[in-house]
Structure 1
């Protein structure tokens, strides 16, 4: 009897919930089936200061927790009786994407895993998902564009000196590199206080301590990656400092020159200077979304900076419906802040987003698996999205917003 059960169970396991990967990928999926498993492995493999930098928010980490609780509270009602193959493909700003999933910009990503920017760019091109490379990424925008092709987007902070001369030069560089989507960050008007980084001494200029050295020595995989890639640096900024562009000089330039947010007047100037798609990142109020559309932007990225800027901000998912209602069809709605699963992606799409982005999830993938991590997380999120859509009876992304949704904590701006 036991043998009969075993012979029956194996094909059933393959058919139900075992995932679509085979060989080594299937074994890896059994070991790391969720982002929680990936996070535990990353915690063991990267230095403590790096994990704290990735995991922490601002203040008491209330906003990061709020993002998670708010996403968990969104309920979707399945519909049955019309089974059909699930398709996750979508188009964002004329770019065909394998899924409505992208990699968010994370400044100084090389602290989490040396070489992160290049890994993300290569994974984006391979998996056909967008990657918004940051102004403070550890590879230059030209290299990102070469590796990612049309999936390499560019996130821009403002450098107001000399009437934004460096800001406009970065825009020209992005255009010359073939970047098709520019994302201007609005939600960093002042530097936030991040207690974990302060306790770890992770400030500019960085001064390693005995504890830091011990953390690094206890993380051999991270240390090998560092030996291969070299110290993380602000590669986009190096051409704007006096030669030789040492890390200290470049870090000092970043500290003194990157200031504040963009005014709406400057967003309009940016619109005039940029012929590609223009996105504003960090919108949490429908009136700001309407103002952005009035100056000509093509996309609104609803985000609270992943909980890393303002602890009292609402969960990004809770303001998404109001922004979706205000924008209508006048712009593409994107979402980030708290995405940890394909089910979270389905929730955001059901509430009006056209695409979603995650930063921590992909960096945790690097911490857990090194160079394989970004593509693994992209595949995991897509498979989970396919499962969620199949369970919901939604064969296409267009069907998700038609579902009945219970969202008790949706923000009421009236």
Structure 2
């Protein structure tokens, strides 16, 4: 409507123009315990912070007068054509952000021309998510060579998943002190209820109502029931069966033999590990430090990317996960050797703020920023990005 010649639009109180805007809005909407679970990291948060600051160490190299009208953001991952080189990463217990996160993330991802990676610890079962989706999404496995792993792989294949990511950087859960200080137990659910946490829940009545009514916050690939008791049992199964420090290369080689679809190894920072994955026939690797939630002082994902990409040498796809908050971050990652990136926290911010609309807007923001960055750089397509598209900001290196 117009008022005194001005275009007046009714909007949310927040000016949601960036991923950081969504982050601030999500923090206000979630209890402190949940916020620390979603946004926190391990120990002193060094790797968590480095995942972001690593992008600041690279400048983009622009070219002018290129005469380019259209800009292509299409990419391919595991043979799947994507309209946007951004996948939605697996996030365990995502029902704590919004009780329908898994279903909404899958639906929005496919509408935006990309895919969702369903977590082993998802708040909806892999079958429920597949039944609600129209496209084939990806499945992420916390592995152990044995009965539980075999069952999950068979279930995923039967449900229509043809691409699997095996996460290998969680031999034990990292120490996330922020969660524990705000009421999360050291081993996860259930929370420790104190007068302080109860008051914090009371200050977030919408979130508390959804949790109590729907009880979709545990890992429902291990139990058939919903509810607090089922969530606790699912967590115990995960830690007992899937977080194993004895896991070795023979175990993932066995998984490669068993899985007939595309297979990626997630949690790679060392070029030698990437080379071994290629030798075993993996179709790709995901350069990731688990969002800074596991080993503190591990390299930032972007810092590790160039050496991993060089070690792979085009024999497998390389994806990046960790710290992506801007379209320019996506451009830098692609220039340094990634085929695509994955985002976790950004879409959780979006879904916590406004459900499916928030997830969609987060992806739209990234798409607009990618196109704007390509335009300003004079680059026609994300496929044209390479090492010459970026340059180190030398004053950052000492």
How far did 1:364 drift?
0.8
- The answer to whether the 8 Å contact 1:135/1:157 transfers is yes
Separation in 1 of the partners of 2:100 and 2:309? Answer: 36
Q: Give the corresponding residue for 1:17.
A: none
Consecutive unaligned residues in structure 1, runs of 5 or more: 1-5, 11-22
How far did 1:194 drift?
0.6
Residues 1:142 and 2:127 aligned together: yes
Residues 1:405 and 2:398 aligned together: no
What do residues 144-179 of structure 1 show as CA deviations (whole Å, max 9, x unaligned)? 223344452111012x4xx51110110011111111
Q: Give the corresponding residue for 2:280.
A: 295
Residues 1:347 and 2:329 aligned together: no
Structure 2 residue aligned with 1:119, among 100, 104, 109?
104
- The answer to whether the 8 Å contact 1:125/1:151 transfers is no
- The answer to whether the 8 Å contact 2:347/2:359 transfers is yes
User: Larger deviation: 270-279 or 137-146?
Assistant: 137-146
- The answer to whether the 8 Å contact 1:124/1:152 transfers is no
What do residues 106-150 of structure 1 show as CA deviations (whole Å, max 9, x unaligned)? 111112222211121111222121211111110111122233444
Correspondence list, 1:11-410, <5 A:
31-84=15-68, 85-158=70-143, 160=144, 164-203=146-185, 204-206=188-190, 207-227=192-212, 229-238=214-223, 246-260=230-244, 262-401=247-386, 403-407=388-392
How far did 1:205 drift?
4.5
Structure 1 residues 248 and 308: CA distance shift in structure 2, 3 A: closer
Separation in 2 of the partners of 1:149 and 1:212? Answer: 39
How far did 1:228 drift?
5.0
Alpha-carbon RMSD across the aligned residues, in angstroms, is: 2.5
User: Larger deviation: 37-46 or 258-267?
Assistant: 258-267
User: Which protein has the bigger helix share?
Assistant: 1
Structure 1 residues 81 and 292: CA distance shift in structure 2, 3 A: same
- The answer to whether the 8 Å contact 1:105/1:134 transfers is yes
Separation in 2 of the partners of 1:231 and 1:200? Answer: 20
- The answer to whether the 8 Å contact 2:96/2:211 transfers is no
What do residues 7-35 of structure 1 show as CA deviations (whole Å, max 9, x unaligned)? 9x99xxxxxxxxxxxx88xx569921111
- The answer to whether the 8 Å contact 2:59/2:393 transfers is no
- The answer to whether the 8 Å contact 1:150/1:180 transfers is no
Separation in 2 of the partners of 1:87 and 1:371? Answer: 25
What do residues 228-267 of structure 1 show as CA deviations (whole Å, max 9, x unaligned)? 532412110115x9xx983333333223222226421111
TM-score between the two structures when normalised by the length of structure 1: 0.87
- The answer to whether the 8 Å contact 1:115/1:225 transfers is no
User: Larger deviation: 211-220 or 191-200?
Assistant: 211-220
- The answer to whether the 8 Å contact 1:87/1:395 transfers is yes
Separation in 2 of the partners of 1:221 and 1:201? Answer: 19
Aligned residues: 384
How far did 1:308 drift?
0.6
